[in-house]
Amino acid sequence: IFLSPVSGRRYEGENVGTSVLISDVTELKKAEGIRSQFTANVSHELKTPLTSIKGFTDMLSTGMVQSPEDQKRFLTMIGVEVDRLIDLINDILELSELESVAIEQAGETASPLDTAREVEKLLAPEAGKAQVTLSVCGEPGLARIASGRLKELLMNLMENAVKYSEPGGKVEVAVTKGAGTMTITVADNGIGIPPEAQERVFERFYRVDRGRARKNGGTGLGLAIVKHICQLYGGFVTLDSAPGRGSTFTVTLPAGE
């Protein structure tokens, strides 16, 4: 608690009292802590691919890599790290935009079923490569959300479901209409998330298995973005998961007209 005397007002020469402003700085301090932790995490996440790029370019420029095949392989690895940096920066920008937008963007609606089908098509090559079957079903209807945000939310959840599945796995997306709500479930029978990590996966940069996430090219920001989007539009996201059995993410959004 921070006490600050606001004024010892004098009225016609007479002291009529002192006002004290009482403000709780606990929240402020917490926000500052989160911000500086975020800055530290971002710096670390940016540094890792940059260090690799520097290593590869040093080796190429000193002539240590002789054969054209090896040179090409190094250039490809540099490309992968650069893509990673671009993804990371895009996600950081997206999060900061989501944080600065005022709650509720009046009037915009989008169809979860149509959007999920659109994302299904976009993910088809990735699902094919991972040997994962992706399916979408459910009821038509509108949710009160900007279509770009809904697409991004579904892209993050559906792509994760594919990424964290084993070959032969199944990802099922279902859309249901409730009383004034639209609910989307994204269910996979993949690797699952241990109970102690289930709250934390929505935190920025938290990953259950860093090695696997890195191999999959994740930024660690996808679920933080999903949670922010839900909150922005008056909805919420829940998770039901068990290691080895799979994960189901459920998003509930207000229905549109």
Q: Site residues (CB under 6 A) for ligand ADP?
A: 156, 160-161, 164, 188, 190-193, 201, 207-209, 213, 218-224, 247
How far is it, in rounded angstroms, from Cα 143 to Cα 102? 18
* CB atoms inside a 10 Å sphere around CB 65: 17
Q: How far is the CB of 88 from ligand ADP (least distance, A)?
A: 9
Closest to ligand ADP by CB, 146 vs 239, is: 239
Closest to ligand ADP by CB, 144 vs 163, is: 163
Q: How far is the CB of 238 from ligand ADP (least distance, A)?
A: 13
- The two tokens of residue 60 are 């190429």
Closest to ligand ADP by CB, 190 vs 235, is: 190
Q: Which residues of 231-245 are buried (b: 16+ CB within 10 A; e: fewer)?
A: ebbebebeeebeeee
Closest to ligand ADP by CB, 44 vs 72, is: 44
Annotate 166-208 with DSSP letters as a single string. Answer: -TT-EEEEEEEE-SSEEEEEEEE-SS---GGGTTGGGSTT--S
Please give the residue whose beta carbon sits closest to ligand ADP in the complex: 218
Closest to ligand ADP by CB, 115 vs 160, is: 160
Name the DSSP letter for residue 200.
Answer: G
Name the DSSP letter for residue 102.
Answer: P
Q: How far is the CB of 11 from ligand ADP (least distance, A)?
A: 58
Q: How far is the CB of 209 from ligand ADP (least distance, A)?
A: 6
Q: How far is the CB of 156 from ligand ADP (least distance, A)?
A: 6
**Order of strands, edge to edge, in the sheet holding 246-254?**
133-138, 170-177, 181-188, 246-254, 236-242
How far is it, in rounded angstroms, from Cα 23 to Cα 4? 8
